[in-house]
Structure 1
Amino acid sequence: MFKLMFLEWKKLKRHSVIGEVIIYWLILMFMPMFFIKMIMPAFGQSYASAIELNFFIQLGFILFGGSLINQVFIEEYKNKTISLSFRYPISRKKLFMAKVLFISLFVFLATMISFILTGLTTYLLDQVFPIINGQPTDSDISTYFSSMIIGSLIVPLIGFIPLFFFAIWKRETVPTIVCSIVTMQLPNFSSFTNFKPEFVIAVLCILGALSIYLSIKTAESVGEI
């Protein structure tokens, strides 16, 4: 399985993907302080509030997941290179599972690094330009690391929502990306409904898991060229 995952990495446009990840990191590193200063000063009342804001900002990596789905699945269908993979002496279910695991690991690591970079940047900037009230407590630090682990796990899962229908079934890039954009924004708009953000995120995680299950379960039939 690891060899198949490594093969997916070798097939990627690596310079393009690495450049995309760096852009995400650079943008998200400064987003919490920008939002607190310019848009949502209420989140600067404490580090606990800033940590909550940062969690939702990191959901932006759901879009990166959609970008990887496009490269790992859709582009291979469009340029017919996936037909070569189908000739490997392995089942298509195993091949699809390797692709899913590769995307999951990549997005997980990218999100976790983003949490670390954003946390350090927010703290250091706040020391130079005090915006957040008070200083982070031991409880805040513990909460942040918990948020980092949970966020790094749910972002890849939610990111797979467009996989089955838009990527494997329809094989369309634009709807896949649009679905990722809408999905990452839904928890932020939960305040306009009667649903709590946690409930929305839980539902999105279930949909992501269902999309993965259907993609692997039907790989032999839906995976046809």
Structure 2
Amino acid sequence: MLNLMKLELRKFKIMGYIRSAVIATLIIFGFMMLMSYSPKMYGINVFENYSRVFSMIDVFVRGTFIIFAAVLLGRFVIDEFNHKTITVLFTYPIKRHKIIAAKLMVVIAFTFLCIVASMIILSTLYFVINSFTHFVSGELTLTLVLQHAAKLGFHALAASFMALIPLYFGMRKYSIPTTIVSSVIIVLLTCSDSGGFNLNDIIIVPILLAAIGIAVGYMAIRKIDQIDIR
């Protein structure tokens, strides 16, 4: 399985996606700086404490990389069916379900690592900048860091499986736009922030959506032998 995953990474030139993930992270950071600086000019404090900062980082990062995962699914899986290149892979002496499983594992692992890395980078950068600008008052304690680290880690894991849900819609007609649109809808439902609250804060919601994502991935792997590629 690991060898198949490595082949997928080389085949689709994963470094290009890593660069895109870095750019996305920098854009999020720039947006957070804008949100911190612009209201400050009018005496408004958007981020009243570090809890709010971590919450916004969580929302922005999860939303960005769930959509990013849909792009990967479109490129790694759906596009292969569209262009019939998947038939070449199926001629290899490797079971079909292992090939699809390797593709999905790459998407899950890449999404999880990107979310975690992005959250760490953004949190660190914001803390460093805030030590000079004082956008956020109050002290960043170890207890607060550990509490939010556990929460953000759970959200990252749930989001990486949740990101498989668009595969169900995309595979119906092998449509990449449908895959991406469905991921946007998921982001709007789970990442819409209202006064520091979003649906993802209700613990059963990310657990349920992650379970649905796992089920979608499992069914895609299980039914691959029944798909007739013409």
- Do both share a fold (TM > 0.5)? yes
Match of 1:204 among 204, 209, 226: 209
Provide the residue aligned with 2:189 in structure 1: 186
Unpaired segments of 5 or more residues in structure 1? none
Q: Cα distance 1:6–1:29, how it changes in 2: closer, same or farther (>3 A)?
A: same
Give identity over the alignment, percent: 24
Structure 1 residue 182 displacement after superposition: 1.5
Q: Per residue, is there more helix in 1 or in 2?
A: 1
Provide the residue aligned with 2:34 in structure 1: 34
Q: Cα distance 1:55–1:15, how it changes in 2: closer, same or farther (>3 A)?
A: closer
Give deviations 1:152-172, integer Å, cap 9, x for gaps: 212211111111231x33210
Which segment is superposed worse, 152-161 or 198-207? 198-207
Does structure 2 conserve the Cα–Cα contact (< 8 Å) formed by 1:65 and 1:159? yes
2:220 maps to amino acid: S
Does structure 2 conserve the Cα–Cα contact (< 8 Å) formed by 1:157 and 1:209? yes
Q: Distance in 2 between matches of 1:137 and 1:68?
A: 37
Q: Cα distance 1:43–1:157, how it changes in 2: closer, same or farther (>3 A)?
A: farther
Q: So what's the TM-score if we normalise by structure 1?
A: 0.88
Q: Cα distance 1:70–1:33, how it changes in 2: closer, same or farther (>3 A)?
A: same
1:131 aligns with 2:135: yes
Match of 2:74 among 70, 77, 80: 70
2:189 maps to amino acid: L
Q: Distance in 2 between matches of 1:16 and 1:24?
A: 12
Provide the residue aligned with 2:19 in structure 1: 19
Provide the residue aligned with 1:169 in structure 2: 172
Structure 1 residue 92 displacement after superposition: 1.1
Q: Distance in 2 between matches of 1:154 and 1:30?
A: 26
Match of 1:84 among 64, 81, 88: 88
Unpaired segments of 5 or more residues in structure 2? none
Does structure 1 conserve the Cα–Cα contact (< 8 Å) formed by 2:163 and 2:213? yes
1:219 aligns with 2:224: yes
Q: So what's the TM-score if we normalise by structure 2?
A: 0.86
Which segment is superposed worse, 66-75 or 205-214? 205-214
Provide the residue aligned with 1:115 in structure 2: 119
User: Pairwise CA RMSD of aligned residues?
Assistant: 2.4
Structure 1 residue 25 displacement after superposition: 1.7
